[in-house]
């Protein structure tokens, strides 16, 4: 009889969802009372036979967001649907869009916003609307002067965010990673640099992404690290980087010596922030995303469905 009930619940679901019959009509068709039909329907839902999906580039996944908040202790989570998406780029674009939306709707509007840089943040900046805020201060939280080509994308990101928010950007005039620790100390003792970092520390919110530990990393592309350096970091357990600092699955610094040569906010400073918004999308970043959330590096996560499910269910 349980077998029959299961079949019946499927028949009922077909008539209800695909043929738009009322439960009463279904009852007549299957020789059941309408209450029985209602129960079969909720049974079908409970057993997961009914899958409802919202297919839209801007669609979110609220139940997953809720789980992230409840099971991972995030203050907030934005999970974009990856339904009907073929390319990894598309996923990143949707996530960036969502991050821009979140930032626009963020209340209270942060007086000063600390930002990192990279491909993802560049996209976020691009999706922000002119006038998303009125007079926001934007400050870079990690070094970003490129060593070779693509110079200025880091600066451009911060400037774009500030300009569209009718504010001004404070740039951190320093490379991300220095060759020698002495140089790093020297740069940090520079009054301008020290001032910017001080300002970064006092930002009311942070917006940053994370990089995967692979050869496609911006650090390799920008010339801060060689491909072999990344291999070495991976060997030591690195899953990716946050504001230029490479971490293992538990969020610990993988290479303290390298970390000491990295300019910008430290991870602990980030962890103590009230509003730390991480924007992380794409399959290659599943591991870092997990590390970021696990180790409390962010209070708010903006990501895609697959990454979120990876974080939740491993």
Partner DNA sequence: GCGGTTCATGCTCAGATGAGCAGGGCGGAT
Partner DNA sequence: ATCCGCCCTGCTCATCTGAGCATGAACCGC
Q: Which residues in this chain contact DNA in the complex, by CB under 7 A?
A: 16, 22-24, 32-36, 38-39, 41-42
Interface pick for a copy of itself out of 5, 46, 49, 194 (rule CB under 8 A): 49
Nearer to DNA, 39 or 111 (CB): 39
Q: Which of a copy of itself, DNA, none does 63 bind, CB closer than 5 to 8 A by kind?
A: a copy of itself
- The tokens of 142 are what? 């990690």
**Cα dihedral across residues 229, 233, 239, 244: positive or negative:** negative
Nearer to DNA, 32 or 171 (CB): 32
Cβ distance 308 to 232 under 8 Å? Answer: no
Give the C-alpha separation, 104 to 128, whole Å.
Answer: 8
Check residue 32 for interaction with a copy of itself (CB under 8 A): no
Nearer to a copy of itself, 53 or 179 (CB): 53
DSSP 14: I
Give the nearest distance from C-beta 38 to DNA in angstroms: 4
Check residue 236 for interaction with a copy of itself (CB under 8 A): no
Q: Which of a copy of itself, DNA, none does 34 bind, CB closer than 5 to 8 A by kind?
A: DNA
DSSP SS3 for 262: strand
Give the nearest distance from C-beta 22 to DNA in angstroms: 3
Check residue 17 for interaction with a copy of itself (CB under 8 A): yes
Give the x-and-dash track for 67-96 against a copy of itself (CB under 8 A): ----------------x-------------
Give the C-alpha separation, 72 to 12, whole Å.
Answer: 37
Nearer to a copy of itself, 14 or 24 (CB): 14
Give the C-alpha separation, 285 to 29, whole Å.
Answer: 51
Check residue 52 for interaction with a copy of itself (CB under 8 A): yes
Centroid of chain to Cα 203? 19
What strands lie across the sheet with 245-247, from one edge to the other?
210-212, 240-242, 245-247
Q: Which of a copy of itself, DNA, none does 294 bind, CB closer than 5 to 8 A by kind?
A: none
Give the C-alpha separation, 214 to 60, whole Å.
Answer: 29
DSSP 110: P
Check residue 2 for interaction with a copy of itself (CB under 8 A): no
In order, the DSSP letters of 122-163 are: HHHHHHSPTTSSSS-EEEE-B----SSSSTTHHHHHHHHHHH
Nearer to a copy of itself, 7 or 181 (CB): 7
- The tokens of 306 are what? 């697959």
Nearer to DNA, 14 or 89 (CB): 14
Check residue 46 for interaction with a copy of itself (CB under 8 A): no
């Amino acid at each position: 009889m349980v077998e029959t009930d299961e079949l019946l619940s499927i028949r009922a679901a077909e008539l209800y969802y695909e043929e738009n019959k009322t439960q009463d009509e279904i009852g007549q068709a299957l020789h059941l009372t309408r209450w029985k039909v209602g129960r079969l329907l909720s049974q079908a839902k409970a057993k997961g036979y009914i899958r409802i999906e919202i297919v839209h580039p801007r669609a979110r996944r609220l139940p997953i967001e809720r789980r992230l908040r409840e099971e991972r202790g995030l203050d907030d989570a934005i999970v974009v649907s990856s339904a009907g998406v073929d390319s990894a780029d598309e996923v990143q674009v949707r996530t960036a869009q969502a991050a821009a939306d979140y930032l626009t709707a963020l209340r209270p509007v942060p007086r000063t916003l600390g930002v990192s840089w990279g491909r993802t943040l560049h996209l976020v900046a691009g999706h922000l609307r002119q006038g998303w805020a009125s007079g926001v201060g934007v400050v870079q939280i990690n070094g970003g002067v490129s060593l070779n080509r693509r110079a200025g994308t880091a600066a451009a990101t911060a400037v774009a965010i500030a300009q569209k928010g009718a504010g001004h950007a404070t740039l951190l005039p320093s490379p991300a990673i220095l060759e020698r620790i002495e140089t790093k100390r020297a740069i940090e003792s520079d009054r301008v640099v020290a001032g910017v970092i001080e300002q970064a520390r006092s930002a009311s919110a942070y917006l940053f992404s994370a990089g995967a530990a692979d050869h496609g990393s911006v650090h390799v592309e920008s010339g801060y690290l060689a491909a072999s350096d990344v291999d070495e970091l991976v060997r030591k357990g690195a899953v990716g980087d946050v504001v230029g600092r490479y971490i293992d699955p538990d969020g610990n610094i993988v290479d303290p010596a390298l970390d000491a040569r990295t300019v910008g906010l430290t991870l602990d400073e980030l962890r103590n922030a009230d509003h730390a918004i991480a924007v992380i999308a794409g399959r290659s970043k599943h591991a870092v995303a997990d590390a970021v959330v696990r180790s409390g590096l962010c209070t708010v996560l903006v990501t895609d469905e697959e990454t979120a499910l990876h974080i939740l269910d491993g």
